[in-house]
Homo-oligomer: A and B are copies of this chain.
Amino acid sequence: MKGINMIQLAKELGLSVSTVSKALGDSYEISASTKKRVMELAKQYNYKPNPFASSLRKKKSKQIAVIIPDIVNNFFALAVDGIESVTMNKNYDTFIYLTHESLEREKAVLEHLESGLTSGLIISVCTGKEGYGHFQQFYENTKLPIVFFDRVPDLLQFPKVISNNYESTFEATTRLIKAGVKRPVFLATEEPLYTSIERRRGFQAALISQQITFSDDMIVECSDDMDKNYSIIRKLLSSKKRPDGFFASIEKYAITTYQVCKELKINIPRDLKIIGMTNLRTAALLNPSLSTLAQPAFEMGREAASLLIKMIEKKSYAAANDIIVLNNELTIRESI
């Protein structure tokens, strides 16, 4: 007779497979009487658990949730790769939620996760005006560990993994100006995220140190909408007193700039010098090759996941005020 499997056991017992699995794994979620029923039938049928799956289960599989704005962006794709490199080894399952810069969606995901689906959260926030009360509320309701990375809210009690945005933007902007830029523009996100505030500060500080007077029109807010974004950059580069240097704080702003320059026949770097914050693998192959400020995306994901799992497994771990700061990397190529 062929051995019985877990599905058949569950059927005969009138239980869900998940309950049978948990009962066989001696889970605290299952009552003693149910466990007894399951074990007895398993013994009667000489049920042999799949050794591989069983070894995975023994390590207690847990779930974490990753909430990010976008996946079609090399930064976030690499960060998820880094997160997964840790969760895979630690036998955690990874949920992924994309907010697409919608605060409503971000809130809905959090409310949904209040049901106890996961053991912890890794979050990069969306651009929103309304502050971060929903994260605090979520934490008060669930006490689940949360690690923020990259786009972090300015809330003291949560651990964060960030990169040195202020210093590295200062450095990049300085390089732009030293390359001859007189009217630099910072292409910014619509809403002032903490990360972008740090970058803006770095930009402004570099202007001061290089004796360039800052004016408000040197910060131009772009859009998440590709078409709107395109119009903004095209208008900017068609204006009479057009800027001669860009610091593009988001990957897609740099790509759109290249598209617009190609169309308007604006020569990079002669007419416009540009440094883009991006992890684009093709940066060196663009025409001309793009100077980049790259965040250590994979490492940031890896650090965030390691920290979160530490918090989940050692419940006493006092990580609330941990801030891990990694370094961005500036690579100068033909675009400046």
Contact with B along A224-257 (1 / 0, CB 8 A): 0000000000000000000000000000100100
Q: Does A81 contact B (CB under 8 A)?
A: yes
Q: Does A78 contact B (CB under 8 A)?
A: yes
A residues 9-36 near B (Cβ < 8 Å) are: 10, 16-21, 28-29
A residues 263-290 near B (Cβ < 8 Å) are: 280-282, 284-289
State whether A53 touches B115 (Cβ < 8 A): yes
> Given A78-B72, A111-B52, do A96 and B84 touch, yes or no (CB 8 Å)?
yes
Binds B, one of A40-48, A87-95, A318-326: A87-95
Q: Does A155 contact B (CB under 8 A)?
A: no
State whether A50 touches B114 (Cβ < 8 A): yes
State whether B285 touches A141 (Cβ < 8 A): no
* Contact with A50, one of B91, B111, B258 (Cβ below 8 angstroms): B111
| B residues near A157, Cβ cutoff 8 Å | none
| B residues near A20, Cβ cutoff 8 Å | 116
Q: Which A positions have Cβ atoms within 8 angstroms of B?
A: 5-7, 10, 16-21, 28-29, 50, 52-53, 56-57, 61, 63, 71-74, 77-78, 80-81, 84, 88, 91, 93-98, 105, 107-108, 111-112, 114-117, 141-143, 252, 255, 258-259, 262, 280-282, 284-289
- Extra pairs beyond A17-B142, A57-B115 (14, CB < 8 Å): A7-B142, A17-B116, A18-B115, A50-B114, A53-B114, A72-B74, A72-B78, A72-B81, A73-B77, A94-B97, A258-B285, A259-B285, A280-B282, A286-B287
Which A-B residue pairs are the 7 nearest by beta carbons? A287-B287, A17-B116, A53-B111, A18-B116, A21-B115, A52-B111, A258-B285
